[in-house]
Amino acid sequence: MTLRYDAGEIITAMVTPFNEKREIDFKALENLVRHLLNTSSDAILVTGTTGESPTLTHEEEYEILYAVKGQVSGARKVIMGAGSNSTKTAIESSKKAQELGADAILSVVPYYNKPNQQGMIEHFGAIARAVDIPIIMYNIPGRTGVNMAPQTAAYLAKEYSNIVAIKQSFPDMDAITELRSLCPEDFAIYSGDDSLTLPMLSLGAHGVVSVASHVVGDELKSIIHNFKSGQIKAARNMHQKLYPLFRKLFMAPNPVPVKTVLSRMKIIENYVRRPLVELNESEKAELYNVFDEVTENIGKKLS
């Protein structure tokens, strides 16, 4: 079955590099994009939560999209996080993303105001009617305070042809089973958590919207390819090797740990915008210890 829209198996939810003034560092952004293009990212998601979108202005978001789109120049798909808990704002951001050439948008379930399932249907339906580009819905109850039911996702997938996929960040494998059975076959399911990629693949997911792909993209790709080619043991072995890093990259609010590692790799500087704070020295040591053990175990020197 051909997907109605295939963004690839690894969509990297890219961090936003900042300088010491915590302004966008466009030179580091260029370095980071080049790194991702060389390490198995099939698509780049800009201005998502990992990109610290809650602290970016809309103008900054559009500048990042423009910069990345220009650098990628068609080599990979560029997706923009254009969600909001205001339907009107989400529509405006989605229209702007389309105007600036985004290949698709990621739109989160409205947060804080906690709509019911009918409210979600009306929210995403309004966005889908307002733009022509593909829409990936994003269900992350831990941040939004409300869960999109599989039946709701399936209704939207059937009703709107440009609602093409869902990023599911919720460790409920029964929900993945229901999503796969209820949604059209050409509708893609993405894991929203690196550590859940392998189990979700076994239930019909297409790939992952990843944080870990910043630093172990090739190895993450091997998990997916080995699983899909029937080499289950190889996929499981790599998953087990990477699992400690998957977990440690969330030892503090995302993207603080992954930015710390990228800084150690000299790809970006280690700055986050408030209210996030950088790791202290003992936390860095704890992260580096796991990072070094994992990379040694997979036979790859990353720092």
Query: Which residues are identified as catalytic?
Result: 138, 167
Three-class HEC string of the chain: CCCCCCCCCEEEECCCCECCCCCECHHHHHHHHHHHHCCCCCEEEECCCCCCHHHCCHHHHHHHHHHHHHHHCCCCEEEEECCCCCHHHHHHHHHHHHHCCCCEEEEECCCCCCCCHHHHHHHHHHHHHHCCCCEEEEECHHHHCCCCCHHHHHHHHHHCCCEEEEEECCCCHHHHHHHHHHCCCCCEEEECCHHHHHHHHHCCCCEEEECCHHHHHHHHHHHHHHHHCCCHHHHHHHHHHHHHHHHHCCCCCCCHHHHHHHHHCCCCCCCCCCCCCCCCHHHHHHHHHHHHHHHHHCCCCCC
